[in-house]
Amino acid sequence: MTIRTIIFDFGGVLYNMPDPKRVSKWMKIFGFNQDPEVLEMLANPNESQLVNDICLGKIPEDEAWRMMHTKWRIKPETIRRFRNQFISKRHLNQQLVRFMDELNEEYQLGILSNAGDQSRSLMTDVFHLDQVVDEIIISAEEGFIKPDAAIYQIAMARLETKPEDSLFLDDYDKNVKAAVDFGMKAIQFKDNEQAIPMIRELLREEG
C-alpha cells in the first residue's frame, strides 16, 4: 500500500526538549537534585509514573505545577519563569515544520503525542501546529498513552486511515516498535539531518 498519512510525535520531535545541562542547573538551584521522583522524571520521563499519570490525564497539568510549590517548596515566581521556559516558541523544531509544510500538499498529516491536558493549547495557540496538520491526538484527552495499541487505533480512526497506509515518526524506540507491530511504517527520530532524508527516501520507495 502507498503511504497516505504521516504522523509525528510532539515532544522530542516537533518540540525540542530543554537542554539537560540547563535543567540540571535549575535542579541545583531548586535544591531537589537528589529527589528520587524528580531524578526519575528527568532522567527517563517515558518511565516516570508521574509523567505517565500526567499524560494519561490522571493528574491535570495545573496540579503538577502546584506540586512543585507544595511538595518541592518552589516559589510561585520561580515556577512561573520555569513554566515560561517550556512554552517558549524557540523550542519549536522549525526545520521539521517547514518540511511538514512541503508534505501537506500531498499527504495527510497528524500529531500523536503523549502529553498533558494543556498541550493542545500549546500546540495550537503558541505553535499554531493546527495550521500544519489535519489532526492532533493527545494522550491525556484519550486516556491511553503510547506504546498502547489503543492510541494508535484512535489515531487511525481520527485520520480515517489504515496502519498500512501510515508512517509514524517518534523519538522513543518503544513507541516506534509498537507502531510497527500495529502495522505502520515507522522511523525513530534522532535529529533532522537523519530523519528528513529517511522520510524522503521511504516516500520515494513507496511511490
Structural domain including 74 reads 20-86
Q: Are 79 and 105 found together in one domain?
A: no
Task: Supply the pLDDT for residue 62.
Answer: 85
| Least confident among 14-18, 89-93, 150-154 | 14-18
Task: Supply the pLDDT for residue 103.
Answer: 97
Q: Are 180 and 196 found together in one domain?
A: yes
Sheet holding 108-113, edge to edge: 135-138, 108-113, 5-8, 166-170, 185-188
- Residue 194 in 3-state DSSP? helix
Task: Supply the pLDDT for residue 144.
Answer: 97
Task: Supply the pLDDT for residue 73.
Answer: 67
Q: What confidence tens digit (pLDDT) does each residue in 56-83 have?
A: 999 998 888 787 767 666 677 766 776 6
Among the candidates 86, 107, 129, a domain finishes at: 86
pLDDT at 174 over 60: yes
Q: Are 74 and 144 found together in one domain?
A: no
Cα separation, 89 vs 203, in Å, equals: 29
Average pLDDT for 129-150: 97
Q: Would the pTM of this model clear 0.95, i.e. be above it? A: no
pLDDT band per the 50, 70, 90 thresholds, residue 158: very high
Cα separation, 45 vs 185, in Å, equals: 25
Q: How many CB atoms lie within 10 A of CB 101?
A: 12
Task: Supply the pLDDT for residue 31.
Answer: 57
Q: Are 138 and 197 found together in one domain?
A: yes
Q: What confidence tens digit (pLDDT) does each residue in 11-67 have?
A: 999 998 766 565 566 666 565 555 566 555 565 666 778 889 999 999 998 888 787
Q: What confidence tens digit (pLDDT) does each residue in 98-117 have?
A: 999 999 999 999 999 999 99
Asked whether the CA dihedral 114, 17, 122, 192 is positive or negative, the reply is negative
Q: Mind giving me the DSSP string for 175-187?
A: HHHHHHHHT-EEE
Beta-strand ranges (E) seen in 124-165 are: 135-138
Residue 59 CA, distance from chain mean position: 17
Nearest to 123 by CA among 105, 107, 106, 141: 141
Q: Are 48 and 77 found together in one domain?
A: yes
Q: Are 182 and 108 found together in one domain?
A: yes
Q: Are 200 and 112 found together in one domain?
A: yes
Helix H or strand E encompassing 193: helix 192-205
Task: Supply the pLDDT for residue 7.
Answer: 98
Among the candidates 37, 64, 86, a domain finishes at: 86
Cα separation, 123 vs 99, in Å, equals: 17
Task: Supply the pLDDT for residue 21.
Answer: 60
pLDDT band per the 50, 70, 90 thresholds, residue 90: confident
Q: Are 113 and 165 found together in one domain?
A: yes
Share the mean pLDDT of the chain.
87
| Least confident among 33-42, 94-103, 146-155, 174-183 | 33-42
